[in-house]
Amino acid sequence: MDKCSVEGCERGVYADGLCSLHYKEPHQSQPSTASTRHEDVEGIREVKISDFDMPFWNLVCFMVKVAIASIPALIILALLAVAATAMFTAFVGAIK
């Protein structure tokens, strides 16, 4: 296994001959691609995310968790729709 090209570093190569620690250092010091407009209003700052890096299977797991978490919300919305329909039907029936 190749080692990091930085002198004294024994980590394995991540990219461009550098370990993950040394590879990410220069990228972190560059200006972010987020919005440079900073509007501080009582400690509130606008942030725009332009990109994020997430492994594929972690993203799949996240999406499955979101789908499972949405089931109770859909059940509640369905019950509210049934209740609203019943109230509307009763109201229209009372008018006739």
Beta-bridged to residue 3, according to DSSP, are 12
Q: What's the CA gap between 4 and 95, in Å, rounded?
A: 81
How far are the Cα atoms of 52, 83, 89 from residue 95, in angstroms, in the given order?
56, 19, 10
pLDDT of residue 24: 77
**Is the model's pTM score more than 0.75?**
no
62 and 46 within one domain: no
How do the pLDDT tens digits run along the chain, 96 residues long? 688 888 888 888 888 888 888 887 765 555 444 444 444 456 677 778 888 788 999 999 999 999 999 999 999 999 999 999 999 999 888 886
Last residue of a domain, one of 15, 32, 51: 51
Total domains in the fold of the chain:
2
77 and 47 within one domain: no
45 and 4 within one domain: yes
Q: Counting Cβ atoms within 10 Å, is residue 68 exposed (0-12), middle (13-18) or buried (19+)?
A: exposed
The DSSP result for 31-54, as a single string, is PPSS------BTTB----------
31 and 3 within one domain: yes
Provide the residue range defining the domain that includes 11: 1-51
39 and 4 within one domain: yes
pLDDT of residue 18: 84
pLDDT of residue 77: 96
Last residue of a domain, one of 16, 33, 51: 51
